Chains A and B, each alone.
Chain A
Amino acid sequence: MAPLLQRAQQLAERRLPSLTRYRRAEKLPIELHRRRIYIVPTGFGLGFSVLLLVMLVGALNYANNAALLLTCLLGAASAASMLVAFRDLDGLRLGHIRAGHAVAGQPIELTLAFDSSRVRQAIRVELGRDTTAFAIDAGAVVHLKLMMPTTRRGWQSLTRLRVWSNWPLGLFRAWSWLHPEQAVLVWPRPEEAGPPPVAPAEDARHMRLLQGDELAALREYRVGDPQRHVAWKASARHDNLLVKDFERAQNRPQWQLDWRRLDGLDDESRISRLARWVNEAHAQQRHFSLWLPGNIIPNGSGPEHYAHCMNALAQLP
């Protein structure tokens, strides 16, 4: 049933230009209006109209005018609910979209900001197989979080979103496509395991000097801490895992992560190795620099630096 419907819909979109008019991506903000909202009866709506027909024939057959009046009332109310469904979407505005961060293969979080001048209820936004519902108050802004699946690193344009509603009675479904002209940047997936970065000579000397410092302090385990830093003996006497702290980042060896030194690997493998190193360096709060072909990111640390480096890796050709 479902694939058949999908095929019919694809055919309709090919054959009916008005349906495909908005298949092209368009600039934000997008406001839904009458020329792009379509209404079809739902399965329940079709069943209900059959029921109304049965009621009509029954009332006519028994020449029962009260029953006929009731049937007419119910029918007219159903028809009116179609207009209510239309009004539920008409004038809805998608203001902007913010994307989160995700590595290839993991879903990326999108935050859609909808606003509206009037109250709307039970609006559904469909992305792929994922449907999320929201209601919006007059003059309010709703930040709707959606997950979009990703496959590979780099810029990925948004898939079409279907906005629909069968408010209030579920008899009619008003729907429209949202195809915002916006792309999200997907970070490369780091490799599972591999060699640590080769530290430059002066960095190695720096590291030796600091070797006696390793038990200077213990702190609680934080996600991302390397396993070899866990103080197992100390942890056994506590509730939480304790980690040997080599605090003060400026005393830590700096990493120079260099594309050119990764000989013998293809581009994607280099990117995923660099991504792993960037991840590790960020987790260990090291200072690091990233040398990419045509793009050298100088020494730095912190989330912004990390995001900068990942973005650069993601955008490599």
Chain B
Amino acid sequence: MKRTPRPQATIDAPIDNRAFDLLSGTLAMVLALHAPHLPWWLSGALALILGWRWWQRRQQTGRVPAWLKLPMLVLLTLVVIAWYGSIFGREPGTALAVGLLVLKLLESETERDARVGISFACFALMVALLFDQGLIATLVVALGLLPALATLRALQPARLPTSTRRTVLSNLGLLFSALPLALLAFLLVPRLSTPLWGAPSPRQATTGLSDSMTPGNFTELLTDDRPAMRVSFDGPPPATDLRYFRAYVMGYYDGRGWHRRPPDPREAVAAIEAGTTVSYRITLQPTRQRVLPTLDVPLQAPTQSRMQPDREVLADKVVTEAISYAATSASRYRLQAVLDPASRQRSLQLPTAFNPRSHALAAQWRQRFGSDDAAIVDAALALFHDGGFRYTLAPAPLGRDSIDDFLFSTQEGFCEHYASSFTVLMRAAGIPARVVTGYQGGYWNKLADYLLVRNSDAHAWSEVWLAGRGWVRVDPTAAVRPERVTLGASAAAGDQRDWYRNDWLQDVRNRWDVVNRWWDQAVVGFDALRQRGLLTPFGIRNTDTGMLGLLLAISSVLFVALGLGWALWRREARDHLRAAMHRLESKLARRGITRRSSEGPQHYLSRAARALPTQRHELEALMNLYLSLRYAQDHPSTESVRAFSVAVREFRPLDVVK
């Protein structure tokens, strides 16, 4: 007796080529998702190793020998330590994990190896989201689960041959059927109010506003198209030339750049007389700073933040995740109508022995216009407008007397240069002045009525104090390039835009931002606070952890019951012939010909034919058909059964002849 060879279901059996291909594909996907934040040479080397191993196993199955594997392992660890300085932390840890995952493929031969590899790959997929939790990134990572699931399926011993499409579809089906439960768990899993261990390192370099400004350090920011914040207004949005969002006020100039004054807790918040006010809500992307940009000028600090003397708003904690806050600002106002001597002194501070020509120019203006501060402001703006100044994102470098160099020789720059030199000129002329940074402009999204402000909308302008009017916002950049204020930074940059900042492309990106905003609000920004307010519509103001756990348990049970219902459901083999006969019986019963329990179909239908002599032929035909279908054959064909039920449907019994 010969035994046919059969696949053995042992863990140690080598996996087949299909499973190995899928495993390699999964790892390639993981590697591709991590490539953006790994050093390029490491990604390249790992990709080469992966490709080589795949090719090598095609030639001959078997593990890669240890003398090749161990040096690679040591080399990987050394390289990570050399590059990052440690193997702990998010970046080095990720690099090491991805490297180990690829090296795991070298020894992946058995089912157990493949399963360990896939589990680890799932973990690595999740880690990729720690770097970018945007909608697209999340979708791509979720798609990365497909090859992982397909690999697990391919490890099963006896499968019916299916196409790749079917496999993809069945895995997608599994994920989609799991989606409701996943969403529910997502809503109800209690969030941690404080992290268990070190949250992401704040030293990670992000572009964003900073609390000091040296002309030139905005360049990176102005080419960064990522959203900085989104603003939805309670009423109509303010006019384009009023869309100034105040972040930092910088009052100290050291000759090179502007710095924020350290706040003095004893100092009172500058008084403000508000004219028209605007209420709005801002969703701010993580900045790793404390400042909360607000529309110029905020009246009240939002919750969990403090208003500073110069009407900057600083949050109590560093903003490490997207937050949302409501605020009210005055778009027409009189800020600090009375300037006390100390403040005035501070607002006139200038380092000595810098920028002599600027000082001379300011002195000349002061001489010409006397005590008319407003006229000096206008003179300075006129200088920018008519003095041959150019707006460019790539200005020439400046020397020690940077303001002099800018004003009298290079004459090109962007908002920082203009704001900085204007403020210096004002101070030199004896007018209290300071630099304000923040955002200006933004894209008004008509689809969802909100203002999208990108990092590239970062802006710097000046405030001068004029007697009787308080601090007045002056935007010298607008004097040079009015489009900067009306159309935005990218329009002002003219032909210096990169190809990908094309108009139509930018437009598409701006429209697509609706989806991103939704994602950021609904998913990324769903924090412990929002979770507590989850049940507010049902009258429960504060949903605590125990409540969440209970809800999670109850609804999980509900889902499990649904799932069980599906699992236990079996399609009963329906007897169509019997159903059709039932229909005929009930039709006849309506005419008073009821089938008795002792009556067989033949007897019953003959009796019916006698009772309905006009339809005798029809009834006899039905009877013969039924008898032949039911008793003359084992499995009547579907077509003939259908013909019988159609005949029954078309049969209309007439009134019984009494």
Contacts and interface: CB of A to CB of B under 8 A. Distances in A.
Interface in B191-246: 191-192, 195-197, 199-200
B183 interface: yes
B567 A87 contact: yes
B335 interface: no
A90 B568 CA distance: 8
B122 interface: yes
Interface in A70-112: 70-77, 79-81, 83-84, 86-87, 90-91, 100, 102, 106-107, 109
Interface stretch (B170-178, B446-454, B495-503, B533-541): B170-178
Given A51-B122, A73-B142, A90-B568, A68 B186 contact: yes
Contacts of B631: none
Interface residues of A, number: 62
B125 A124 contact: no
B126 interface: yes
B160 interface: yes
Contact of A63 (B1, B153, B321): B321
A292 interface: no
B126 A59 contact: yes
Contact of A167 (B8, B156, B200): B156
Given A65-B526, A66-B133, A70-B126, A122 B156 contact: yes
Given A56-B189, A122-B158, A86 B526 contact: no
Contacts of A73: 142, 145, 175, 178-179, 182
A157 interface: no
Contact of B570 (A59, A74, A91, A168): A91
B125 A70 contact: yes
A128 interface: no
A57 interface: yes
A235 B594 CA distance: 86
B4 A62 contact: no
Given A71-B126, A169-B153, A63 B158 contact: no
Contacts, number: 179
Interface string A46-71: 01100100111111111111111111
B262 interface: no
Nearest to B112: A44
Nearest to A101: B1
B9 interface: yes
Given A54-B123, A64-B129, A132 B6 contact: yes
A106 B2 CA distance: 12
A90 B567 contact: yes
B456 to A, nearest CB: 24
B182 A135 contact: no
Interface string B518-538: 000001111100000000000
A207 to B, nearest CB: 34
B196 A70 contact: no
Nearest to A132: B6
B321 A80 contact: no
Contacts of A119: 160
A168 B174 contact: yes
A67 B129 contact: yes
Contacts of B137: 66
A34 B570 CA distance: 11
A121 interface: yes
Q: Which of B197, B525, B573 has its CB near the most chain A CB atoms (within 10 A)?
A: B197
B590 interface: no
Contacts of B125: 70
Given A54-B123, A80-B178, A122-B159, A72 B142 contact: no
A133 B157 contact: yes
Given A68-B189, A70-B141, A62 B199 contact: yes
B473 to A, nearest CB: 37
Contacts of A41: none
B181 A76 contact: yes
B185 interface: yes
Given A76-B182, A91-B570, A169-B152, A63 B159 contact: no
Contacts of A84: 174, 567
Contacts of A155: none
A123 to B, nearest CB: 7
Interface residues of B, number: 70
B126 A72 contact: no
Contact of A57 (B4, B179, B196, B567): B196
Nearest to B191: A60
B275 interface: no
Interface in A114-156: 117, 119, 121-124, 131-135, 137, 145, 147
A79 B178 contact: yes
B195 A61 contact: yes
A170 interface: yes
B7 interface: yes
B563 interface: yes
A109 B1 contact: yes
Contacts of A123: 158
B266 interface: no
Given A60-B189, A61-B197, A61-B199, A72 B183 contact: yes
Nearest to B571: A117
Nearest to B161: A135
Contacts of A66: 129, 133-134, 137-138, 141, 523-524
A117 B573 CA distance: 10
Given A72-B185, A133-B158, A168-B174, A63 B192 contact: yes
A67 B133 contact: yes
B563 A77 contact: no
A285 to B, nearest CB: 21
A70 B125 CA distance: 9
B444 to A, nearest CB: 28
Nearest to A84: B174
B119 interface: yes
A169 B180 CA distance: 20
Contact of B181 (A65, A71, A79, A133): A79
Contact of B199 (A63, A69, A132, A135): A63
B564 interface: yes
Q: In the A-B complex, list the 5 residue pairs whose CB atoms are closest, starting with the nearest.
A: A66-B133, A76-B178, A133-B157, A122-B156, A133-B158
5 contacts: A69-B182, A73-B182, A86-B567, A122-B156, A134-B158
Given A131-B8, A170-B115, A170-B155, 7 more contacts: A48-B119, A66-B137, A70-B125, A76-B178, A133-B157, A135-B158, A168-B149
